Amino acid sequence: MFSTKNKMAIDYTTYEGATAAAIGSLISTFLTAFCLYLGYDRVIIGILIALQLLVWAIMQIPAAFITQLTGYRKRISIISSFVARFSWVFVGLVPYLLNSSMAMIILFAMIANAGAAFLGPAWASWIGDIVHSGERGKYFSRRNKYSVVFAIIAVITTGIMLEISPETGFNYMFAVAGIAGVLSAIFFAFTPNYRSIGVATNPVKEIKSVMSNRFFKHFCMAFFLWQFGFIAWDTFSEVYIIQNLSGSYIWLAIAFVSGSVASVIMQKFWGRVSDKYTHRSVMIFACIGTVAAPMLWFFFVDSLWLIIPIEFFSGMMLAGFNMASFNYLLEISPYDRRQYYTAIFWAIIGIAGFFGTITSGFISTLWIGLIGVGGLKLSLLMSFIARAAGFVLFIRFVKELPNNQSWVKYIAGDFARVTGSFIKSPLLPIKKFAVSKSRLEKKAKPPERKKYKFKSG
């Protein structure tokens, strides 16, 4: 049971998550369309997205240092959440006041991402204290479910408005961003504060200490490649729908909703499995689906209607992968230095996203006659290769924590433990591998010696 203070904190962070998801989904879904509406090509769009990610990555370490130095996680969360969301209002004003200047759009987008960078370490450290380890799967499944519902509502209404009038739709989107910024700050202000963090030591020593954690180092190495591949396609999927498939704005909303509905459906399942079994098992199982997604786009999406089942499948897998990977990150990071762990992790994936976007934007302008593939199809191929390489590293190097160590040594065990819970199969091989944490702990205990009584005489 949660205490009154803890329950209040969980409720307000859930509300804040809903507002953050609303604006995050709108920007990720329609920012590319906004740039296309203003007449910019995909190379310029790639530069815009890449610079945002670069600023986000660069600001992570200073954000972690300031958070630990001051201990003001709540104050930093309030200010940075407002800056991160409200700055998009100024992006929406650029076409009216600054003649659609891409330089100014990039500037305000970079300010928004700098705010998001400062929010990350403070929030991750704070939420790690609010929600204890054994409850994180349940909490994040609930939080993510509400967040996705609000995101779906925001995206659908924006998509409908864009169909009626692009100008009205984009104005609505940036107005929602401003409202979300105000609400986020209010929700953080009402969230009860927890213990402060000790005074920071030398940041260089902190970084060296964090990177000496082999669990963290191997996790970041695998995630770098996976994120490179994910961003390489995710950035340009909207361009593909509009330019290659001649889809309208509403199809961007349909694609987003397809994945989001699947995410809502699967949140409870992933949360239950993530708490019952290990986060690594869920992460690896879900990663298989995320690797397959680009190839499904490559071979099967020649019609707009085929986007729906493929995005639904992708949403199912991404829901589990994202939840399990974040929980794994929290598990391998000590609470008193969690802001440095999360900051370095997000800096690494931000750099991966920067290079993934720049590379994908450049490759999408090429044509390789030898294989008869060019344009955004090349971006899909690159996305698949990078995700697959990341998946191999996840299997090979990302290990269970000592207290969760499984006797299962092969990927069949990871696959079977999760599918065994999902389909509840009576098959012996599945049941053999479907071992819960509690049973693993019992197996790890040495057997008790039998006691014999001897009669005298």
Nearest to 27 by CA among 364, 252, 259: 252
CB 386 within 8 A of CB 226: yes
Same structural domain, 252 and 163: yes
d(CA 453, CA 457): 13
200 found inside a domain: no
Token code pair at residue 144: 């993510």
447 found inside a domain: no
What does the pLDDT read at residue 359? 92
Same structural domain, 159 and 287: yes
Same structural domain, 9 and 135: yes
* pLDDT averages per 10-residue partition of the chain, 457 residues: 67 87 90 92 89 92 84 88 93 89 92 91 79 73 83 92 92 90 88 66 81 92 95 90 89 92 86 81 92 92 90 94 89 80 89 92 79 81 95 92 48 46 40 41 44 44
Question: How far is CA 399 from each of CA 137, 224, 268, 439, rounded to the nearest angstrom?
Answer: 19, 16, 25, 19
Same structural domain, 416 and 289: no
In whole angstroms, what separates CA 192 from the centre of its chain?
A: 25
What does the pLDDT read at residue 295? 93
d(CA 134, CA 436): 13
CB 204 within 8 A of CB 347: no
312 found inside a domain: yes
Same structural domain, 313 and 417: no
Number of domains in the chain: 2
Same structural domain, 411 and 324: no
Same structural domain, 283 and 429: no
Same structural domain, 274 and 412: no
Nearest to 20 by CA among 137, 116, 138: 116
What does the pLDDT read at residue 114? 93
Number of CB atoms found within 10 A of residue 132's CB: 11
Same structural domain, 286 and 415: no
CB 404 within 8 A of CB 382: no
Token code pair at residue 236: 């340009």
CA-atom Rg of the chain in angstroms: 23
333 found inside a domain: yes
Question: Whole domain around residue 133: which residue ranges?
Answer: 4-193+248-295+303-348
Phi and psi at residue 205, to the nearest 5°: -65, -35
What does the pLDDT read at residue 371? 65
Helices (H) and strands (E) in the chain, counts: 18, 2
Question: What CATH number is given to the structural domain containing 53?
Answer: 1.20.1250.20
Same structural domain, 49 and 181: yes
102 found inside a domain: yes
Token code pair at residue 98: 């600054």
36 found inside a domain: yes
In whole angstroms, what separates CA 361 from the centre of its chain?
A: 22
Nearest to 87 by CA among 4, 22, 27: 27
Same structural domain, 284 and 418: no
Question: How far is CA 227 from each of CA 53, 152, 391, 397, rounded to the nearest angstrom?
Answer: 12, 24, 11, 17
d(CA 252, CA 239): 10
CB 165 within 8 A of CB 172: no
Question: How far is CA 430 from each of CA 12, 276, 414, rounded to the nearest angstrom?
Answer: 40, 16, 11
358 found inside a domain: no
Name every residue whose Cβ is closer than 8 Å to that of residue 278 and which is 6 or more positions away in sequence. 400, 404, 406, 437
What does the pLDDT read at residue 384? 96
Token code pair at residue 268: 């409870």
Same structural domain, 419 and 342: no
130 found inside a domain: yes
